[in-house]
Structure 1
Amino acid sequence: MTIDEIRKILPTLPEAPGCYKYIGQTGEIIYVGKAKNLRRRVSSYFQRDIQSSKTRLLVRQIRGIEYIVVGSEAEALILENALIKEHKPRYNILLKDDKTYPEVVIHREHFPRIRVERRPARDGSQHFGPYPNAGMAHAAVAMVRDLYPIRTCDLDLSPHKIAQGKYKVCLEYHIGKCKAPCVGYQTEEDYDHNIREITSLLRGNLRDVIELYKEEMLRLSGELRFEEAQIYKERLQYLENYQVKHTVAPHHIHNVDVFSFEEDADGSTYVNFMHLTQGMVTQVYTLEYRSLIEGETREELFASAITELRQRFASRARELILPFDPGWRDDVNVTITIPQRGDKKKLLELSERNVRQYKVDKYKRAERLNPDQKLMQVVGDLKQRLSLERVPMHIECFDNSNIQGSDPVAACVVFKRGRPSKKDYRKFNIRSVEGPDDYASMKEVVTRRYRRMVEAQEALPDLILADGGKGQVGAIRDALSSLGVEIPVAGLVKDDRHRTAALLYGEDALREIPVRHHSPTFHLLEQIQAEVHRFAITFHRDKRSKSQLSSRLDYIKGVGAKTKDTLLSTFHSVQGISSATLVDLTRVIGPSKARIVYNAFHPDASEESSVSVE
């Protein structure tokens, strides 16, 4: 996909929170980001005036976009972190203003310190991350310090330094945040035990630690050691709060595959796959699946897609969360869950949201990349509804306009390939009809239109539409018959609100063919009807306006047709002429005629000019 093609599909992206992935030339993920509004955020990369040279470099490498819709901005942040850890996109580092992503580091030393660092030394220390932002990294360290009495100082706590007795306890010891290993109050063995638990926590193994803390709390409570049990209770509360804020799902949902299923009217099937580890989404993919076997059921299709996706991503999940049971039994050790409520139901809904969004975006993108495709489907549907011999690629529609027979006019609008062809629009002054006779007017206009086209050997339309009922359709057919021309004619039936409600068509007897409101065919017919009505009304209004405006000039003696045309072309209307000064009129038509016109519109000024001043 080229950059121009990507720009065309940007308006089809959902305005919802989620994560986006930029795909490079070889199909690898080169950047992962999060957004509160996916459409707005992704579109910002493709503006013409990007200042950052690194962003411009990234955009030049993009050949595709994938995204995952989630429920909130917080979930997007969590998912972004998981995707960065999974794929390690190179531009996630390059685009961070020469800064690497922050990591949590447990230093390799006696009584290890725990810090947030952006460029940690590779000296054997343990690294956790990278985190998508410093706030999340500091939150992890804050959680650790709330749970464990870890030192925050920079002292050298090697055994011989502690033995020298040069250190003193600090405020952290007095407020219970540190056990003062600097003065020997805490053994290195006890400190290292805490570090092992912290390591497990930072690796995401909250479930094991939570179970351990529950067991320890109950054991201490059973031994009536309530103060020590309270410590573990508080730690459990911290961990549960952290879990709610930093995971898409609870950590007990581990090594699970989620599949959702969506069908399409054209026979396509869409299956979304999500894999969760420790409550975090680590893989997401949507597959468009088509049956190769005639008569294959939706259950068989779904089961085949599950097998293919699990093989493609080498999934070893022990549980599948599904919307219904497709009869999949490839692995008897795998549990099938069809949730009705709770956390697993929310995960299934998240997957379903993504598969529905994928289906919607497929059509939106196809329409953006190939605008004529949808219109061709609409005119194809019109052919089927009317049982026409060929697709109505060329449609013409007629409408009359008059007020009680005065200034009667008609208009013809032309649609080619479902789009208005304004250069082919035509206006008609009614010549042979006296009074308000719509049927006779329609017959005259149609006769004039197609007699000329036949004589000029121009291509005739595939379908003629009349903005009216049986009378208008009959008048058009009579006109065509007199010319020996055969063109299908249909009428646009209106409802009480003057909106298109149905088509009136039939070779022998006219019958109403309903059109579903808000369908693509309905919108095309509505557009044609509105356009011909607008065109006819505008022409009639212009003609009536010119007739009314020019009539006042006709009664001024001494002003002929040439002078009248000169005045109207200069001042555009009689109102403009009436408000012009004598000097302005003189400049256009000379002093003598200017005085005549000026006095005609300003009789008071004429009387004043005739009174002599002594």
Structure 2
Amino acid sequence: MNQLIKHKLELLPNQPGCYLHKDRTGSIIYVGKAKNLKNRVRSYFRGSHDTKTELLVSEIVDFEYIVTTSNIEALLLEINLIQEHQPKFNIKLKDDKSYPFIKITKEKYPRLLITRQVKKDDGLYFGPYPDSTAANDIKKLLDRIFPFKKCKNPANKVCFYYHLGQCSAHTVCQTDQVYYESMIDDVKHFLNGQDDKIVNQLKEKMQAAANQMAFERAAEYRDLISAVATLRTKQRVMHQDMMDRDIFGYAVKNGWMCVQVLFVRQGKLIQRDVNLFPYYNEAEEDFLTYLGQFYQDSRHLMPQEIFIPSDIDDSLVAALVTSKVIKPQRGEKKQLVNLATKNAQVSLQQKFDLLEKDFQKTQGAVDNLGRLLGIASPRRIEAFDNSNIMGTSPVSAMVVFVDGKPSKKDYRKYKIKTVVGADDYASMREVLRRRYGRVKREGLIPPDLIIIDGGQGQVNVAKSVIYDELQLTIPIAGLQKNDRHETHDLLFGNPLTVVDLPRQSQEFFLLHRIQDEVHRFAITFHRQVRSKNSFASRLDGVAGLGPKRKQTLLKSFKSMTAIQEASVEDLVKAGLPQKVAESLYWHLRQE
């Protein structure tokens, strides 16, 4: 899990929405929905998973999310996004099946139906719903509350549903058109969330049944009221008019603007576009400038309608685009603009939260470390570590952190030249002399703090070189590991003492990163040197004798013994220039 994901996980909202996982190429590899984005997305990077999920997590390098106002919205948006992006890990939802609607037919005795086709007839359509199960559950509830026609019997012959009180399409019911129109209005209000009238009626019936000791019937009414409660959430991510729309929303903060565009295609909210940029004029003016440039990009096709926030002059927008410009004032269209604006606010807040997190981990940690040690803020920190195995191939390495971030162009590698065997103190002494002797001779900018990966002995060696020999005044600290080879103690002062460093502080994490980085850099360099030494040849070190000429010699003489016994003339005959042959001859004799 990279640092970007770690930061984003800390800033996830406790709201419903959809999340989109991306791989290293920026491609969307998985789309999911969540009632709580923070809990759901975090779960991918915590604990153990099955093989399939582990494979998914191993490819995630970034993610983004879209906040919705309800779980139903998140579910429908998830399906739309999957159909649009076809993520490789979303296998079951890649089909392009249309969504189910509930329809009230335009007949003498209206019926409730489930259909997947929206026709231009006189019927009323409600939906769409995420799947047939959801639509059927809602229809069953409506059938129990509203007595629409459910049978094929003629009007003079009652049906089974009539005896259950769920069908009034019979002459004995003495219903007229006004009755059905009133019932259709009740259904419209009910499915649009205005269900107080129905709920109150059900409560009255439940209380009456309870008063009559008909507890089973009262329980049925109670269950109906509970079922109604599950339908109170209204979804706004699809529209049955099947039009193409772009919905704009924006937010501003601290000189930055975020514009979110929700793309609705054929009634489906399928995608969004997010842009963050600094703005320098009035927010409304810069928004208009952005919108004018937006459709100059060939990737963005002009839709049939464009929704804009209420504070934007629609006449100015109309001069920039050929689409119909709408500035919704109420209802679902207004709520769509609010949804775009809400996501813009979330994205903008996330940007500043990430910047604040980054500052706390870097410059903020540096400032706190300086205050903790009683020195000026150590903007430039140089850290050293040695590496060898039983004294073989000894090396040392220096890493540099500037403002709490690694400055890799300033890293340095050192081969130990004057020390024989495993002498960590002598190796550290040699490297510090070489590094800071050069700093003093050439007038280079010294660091604000030197960190030695080691305990009291290594720090005292560093002090003797820096203070006594080179007469420099650079603060020196030591990082001491515990038995598990983890960063444990910070040593500083004269005499050296353990600094009280809170384990959960950002300055401790900064020192931990520095120690891990210098150790990684040193041991990697040691492995390179050791590998090279393992394959060292007696032919190395001769000027003009490269890999091809070495290969030629081995082909001609078949063995190192034959090469060592050869004369200069023999080496020349094998293809070496005269000077290279003489150099090789005397090089082998000296060995």
- Taking structure 1 as the reference length, what is the TM-score of the superposition? 0.51
Question: 2:492–2:499: 8 Å Cα contact kept in structure 1?
Answer: yes
Assess if the C-alpha contact under 8 Å between 2:554 and 2:560 holds in 1.
no
Give secondary structure in 2 for the equivalent of 1:479. Answer: helix
Q: Distance in 1 between matches of 2:380 and 2:526?
A: 25
Distance 1:450 1:191, change over 3 A: closer
Post-superposition offset of 1:151: 0.7
The amino acid across from 2:474 in the alignment is: I
- Could you give the per-residue CA deviations for residues 304-334 of structure 1, whole angstroms, max 9, x where no partner exists? xxxxxxxxxxxxxxxxxxxxxxxxxxxxxxx
Question: In the alignment, is residue 491 of structure 1 matched against residue 448 of structure 2?
Answer: no
CA deviation map 1:97-141 (0-9, x unaligned): 999987656567754444567757697x87766766776455333
Which of residues 192, 196, 205 in structure 2 aligns to 1:216? 205
Deviation at 1:150, TM superposition (A): 1.5
Match of 1:413, SS state, is strand
Tell me how far apart the structure 2 counterparts of residues 216 and 408 of structure 1 sit (CA, whole Å): 89
CA offset at residue 397 of structure 1? 1.2
Question: Structure 1 residue 364: deviation in Å?
Answer: 7.0
Please point out which of 540, 553, 556 is paired with 1:591. Answer: 556
Contact 1:404 1:435 in 2 (8 A): yes
Matched, 1:383 2:366: no
AA aligned opposite 2:175: T
Offset from partner CA, 1:6-46 (integer Å, 9 cap, x none): 9999777749871369xxxxxxxxxxx9923859999xxxx
> Which one-letter code corresponds to 1:453 in the other structure?
V
Aligned-partner residue type, residue 17 of structure 2? C
Match of residue 36, structure 1, among 24, 34, 39: 34
Alignment of 1:141-152 (within 5 A): 141-152=139-150
Instruction: Select the residue among 433, 441, 445 that pairs with 1:447.
Output: 433
Equivalent position to 1:471, from 437, 451, 457? 457
Judged with a 3 Å threshold, the aligned counterparts in structure 2 of structure 1 residues 98 and 437 are, in CA distance, closer, same or farther, namely closer
Is 1:246 equivalent to 2:245 in the alignment? no
Distance 2:228 2:159 in 1: 27
Partner SS state of residue 181, structure 1: coil
Secondary structure of 2:395's counterpart equals strand
Does the 8 Å contact 1:148/1:194 carry over to 2?
Answer: yes
2:372 is aligned with what amino acid? R
Residue 500 of structure 1 corresponds to: 487
Deviation at 1:171, TM superposition (A): 5.7
Q: Is the 8 A contact 1:9 1:364 kept in 2?
A: no
Answer whether contact 2:105 2:124 (CA < 8 A) is retained.
Answer: yes
Structure 2 matches for 1:348-427, cutoff 5 A?
Answer: 362=349, 366-367=353-354, 374-389=361-376, 391-403=377-389, 405-427=391-413
For structure 1, the 5+ residue unaligned runs are 1-5, 22-32, 43-63, 70-74, 83-96, 156-165, 250-357, 572-584, 601-614
Q: Deviations over 1:156-213 (max 9, x none)?
A: xxxxxxxxxx855476657757646344444337767766765664454555544433
The aligned residue for residue 458 of structure 1 is 444
* Structure 2 counterpart of 1:28: none
Question: Residue 288 of structure 1 aligns with which residue?
Answer: none
Residues 361, 404 of structure 2: 8 Å contact kept: no
Q: Would you say how many aligned residue pairs link Structure 1 and Structure 2? A: 400
Distance across 2 between alignment mates of 1:565 and 1:39? 63
Listed one character per residue, the Cα deviations across residues 558-585 of structure 1 (whole Å, up to 9, x for unaligned) are x68549964xx579xxxxxxxxxxxxx8
1:235 to 1:200, Cα distance in 2 relative to 1, 3 A: farther
Q: Give CA deviations for 1:50-81 in whole Å, capped at 9, x if unaligned.
A: xxxxxxxxxxxxxx986269xxxxx6117889
User: Which amino acid in the other structure matches residue 400 of structure 2?
Assistant: V
Q: Conserved in 2, the CA contact under 8 Å of 1:111 and 1:192?
A: no
Show the counterpart of 1:537.
523
Q: What is the CA–CA distance in structure 2 between the aligned matches of 1:435 and 1:594, rounded to whole Å?
A: 32
Change (3 A) 1:542 1:237: closer
1:516 to 499, 502, 510: 502
Aligned to 1:259: none
Decide whether the 8 Å contact of 1:13 with 1:361 is kept in 2: no
In structure 2, C-alpha distance between the alignment counterparts of 1:533 and 1:543, rounded to whole Å: 15
Question: Contact 2:17 / 2:33 at 8 angstroms: preserved in 1?
Answer: yes
Give the superposition deviation at 1:366: 3.8
Q: Distance in 2 between matches of 1:190 and 1:221?
A: 28
Report deviation, 1:487: 0.9
Letter of the 1:215 partner, please give it: E
Instruction: Pick from 137, 140, 159 the counterpart of residue 139 of structure 1.
Output: 137
Change in 2 beyond 3 A, CA 1:154/1:231? same
Structure 2 unpaired stretches of 5+? 20-30, 42-63, 78-94, 235-344, 566-591
Residue 446 of structure 2: SS of its match in structure 1? coil
Q: Is the 8 A contact 1:395 1:463 kept in 2?
A: yes
Evaluate the alpha carbon distance shift between residue 510 and residue 133 of structure 1 in structure 2; reply closer, same or farther with a 3 A threshold: same
8 Å Cα contact 2:18/2:34 also seen in 1 = no
Residues of 2 paired with 1:441 and 1:595: CA distance? 35
Task: Give the 3 Å change call, closer, same or farther, for CA 133–586 of structure 1 in structure 2.
Answer: closer
For residues 497-551 of structure 1, what are the alpha-carbon distances to aligned partners after superposition, in whole Å with 9 as ceiling and x for unaligned?
2211121111x3322113333543223212222222233334444445555543x
Q: Distance in 2 between matches of 1:223 and 1:539?
A: 88
Please identify the structure whose Cα radius of gyration is greater.
1
Q: From the superposition, tell whether residues 142 and 13 of structure 1 become closer, same or farther in structure 2 (CA, over 3 Å).
A: farther
Residue 489 of structure 1, CA deviation: 0.7
Whole-angstrom CA distance in 1 between matches of 2:170 and 2:497: 96
CA pair 388-361 structure 1, distance change in 2 beyond 3 A: farther
Distance in 2 (CA, whole Å) between partners of 1:379 and 1:505 is 16
TM superposition shift of 1:476: 1.6
- Preserved contact between residue 193 and residue 232 of structure 2 (Cα < 8 Å): no
Q: Distance in 2 between matches of 1:233 and 1:560?
A: 93
Q: Write the mapping of 1:558-569 to structure 2, written as runs, cut at 5 A.
A: 562=542, 566=546, 569=547
Counterpart position of 1:480? 466
1:496–1:570 CA distance, 2 compared to 1 (3 A): farther
CA separation in 2, counterparts of 1:19 and 1:452?
Answer: 58
2-structure distance, mates of 1:102, 1:378: 55
- Residue 77 (1) aligns with residue 72 (2): yes
Question: Secondary structure at the residue paired with 1:514?
Answer: coil
Determine the C-alpha separation between the residues in 2 that align with 1:489 and 1:231. Answer: 82
How far apart, in 1, do the equivalents of 2:96 and 2:399 lie? 60
1:67 partnered with 2:67: yes
What is the alpha-carbon distance in structure 2 between the residues aligned to residue 455 and residue 484 of structure 1? 12
Report the CA distance between 1:460 and its aligned residue.
1.3
Kindly indicate whether the alpha-carbon contact (under 8 Å) linking 1:105 and 1:116 is maintained by their aligned counterparts in 2: yes
Aligned partner of 1:352 in structure 2 is none
Structure 2: distance between partners of 1:544 and 1:424: 23
Q: Is the 8 A contact 2:480 2:487 kept in 1?
A: yes
Task: Tell me how far apart the structure 1 counterparts of residues 155 and 475 of structure 2 sit (CA, whole Å).
Answer: 101
State the secondary structure of the residue aligned to 2:499: strand
